[in-house]
Amino acid sequence: MLNFKLTNKKLHTALLISGSLFFAACGGNTSEGENSDLTGSIQIDGSSTVYPITEAVAEEFRTEAPNVKVTVGVSGTGGGMKKFTRGDIDIVDASRAMNADEQAAAQGNDISFEQLSVAYDGLTVVVHPENDWVKDITVAELKKIWEPGAQGTITRWNQVRPEWPDQELHLYGAGVESGTYDYFTEAIVGKSHSSRGDYTASEDDNVLVQGVSTDPYALGFFGYAYYEENKGKLKAIPVNDEDDSNGTGAILPSLETVKDGSYTPLSRPLFIYVNSKAVARPEVVEFVNFYLDNAGELSQEVGYIPLPEEEYNKQKQKFQKFATGVGASANNQQ
Partner 1 sequence: MTNSDINRYKDKAFQIFGIFCTLIGLVVLAVFLIDIAIDGISRIDWDFLTSLPSRRASSAGIYTAWAGTLWILVLTAVIAFPLGVGAAVYLEEYSRKTKLANFLEINIANLAGVPSIIYGLLGLEIFVRQMRLGGSLLAGALTLSLLILPIIIVTTRESIKAVPRSVRDGSYALGASKWQTIWNQVLPASFGGILTGIILALSRAVGEAAPLIVIGALAYVPFAPTTPLDEFTVLPIQIFNWTSRPQEAFLTNAAGAIIVLLCITFLLNGIAVYLRLRQQKKVKW
Instruction: State yes or no: residue 205 binds partner 1 (CB under 8 A).
Output: yes
Would you say 74 or 330 has its CB closer to partner 1?
A: 74
Considering only the stretches 24-32, 68-76, 256-264, 321-329, report the one whose residues sit in contact with partner 1 under the rule CB under 8 A: 68-76
Q: At 221, phi and psi to the nearest 5?
A: -145, 145
Q: Is 120 in the site for partner 1 (CB under 8 A)?
A: no
95 binds partner 1 (CB under 8 A): no
- Report which of 37, 102, 130, 39 is spatially closest to residue 271, judged by C-alpha positions: 102
Do 142 and 264 contact (CB within 8 A), yes or no?
no
- Considering only 20, 23, 45, 282, the residue that binds partner 1 (CB under 8 A) is 45
Q: How far apart are CA 278 and CA 87, in angstroms?
A: 9
- Is residue 323 at the binding interface for partner 1, with CB under 8 A as the rule? no
Range 283-312, binding partner 1 (CB under 8 A): 298, 301-303
Q: Is 87 in the site for partner 1 (CB under 8 A)?
A: no
Q: How many CA atoms lie within 13 A of 214 on its CB side?
A: 6
Q: Alpha-carbon distance 191 to 232, whole Å?
A: 33
Helix or strand (DSSP H, E) at 142: helix 139-146
Beta carbon of residue 44, minimum distance to partner 1 (angstroms, whole number): 8
Report d(CA 35, CA 206) in Å as an integer: 39
Does residue 74 interact with partner 1 by CB under 8 A? yes
Report the Cα–Cα distance between both ends of the chain, in Å, rounded: 35
Strands 91-94 and 267-275 come out as antiparallel
Secondary structure element (H or E) that encloses residue 37, with its range? none
Q: Using the rule CB under 8 A, is 142 a contact of partner 1?
A: no
Per-residue CA distances from 163 to 157, 159, 236, 267, 313 (Å): 9, 9, 19, 28, 47
Q: Rule CB under 8 A: is residue 75 a binding residue for partner 1?
A: yes
What is the x/- site pattern for partner 1, positions 228-247, by CB under 8 A? Answer: xxx-----------------
Q: Does 55 bind partner 1 (CB under 8 A)?
A: yes
62 binds partner 1 (CB under 8 A): yes
User: Does 204 engage in binding with partner 1 (CB under 8 A)?
Assistant: yes
Nearest-approach distance from CB 281 to partner 1, in angstroms: 17
Choosing from 146, 172, 226, 271, the residue that interacts with partner 1 (CB under 8 A) is 226
Residue 265: asked if its preceding bond is cis (omega within 30°), the reply is: yes
Beta-carbon-side half-sphere exposure of residue 253 (alpha carbons within 13 Å): 27
Part in contact with partner 1 (CB under 8 A); list of ranges 43-51, 162-170, 180-188, 313-321: 43-51
| 181 near partner 1, rule: CB under 8 A | no
By C-alpha distance, which of 288, 277, 253 is closest to 267? 253
Please select the residue that binds partner 1; options are 71, 153, 167, 214, rule is CB under 8 A: 71
Task: Name the residues that contact partner 1, by CB under 8 A.
Answer: 43, 45, 48, 51-52, 54-56, 58-59, 62, 69-75, 83, 88, 204-206, 223, 225-226, 228-230, 298, 301-303
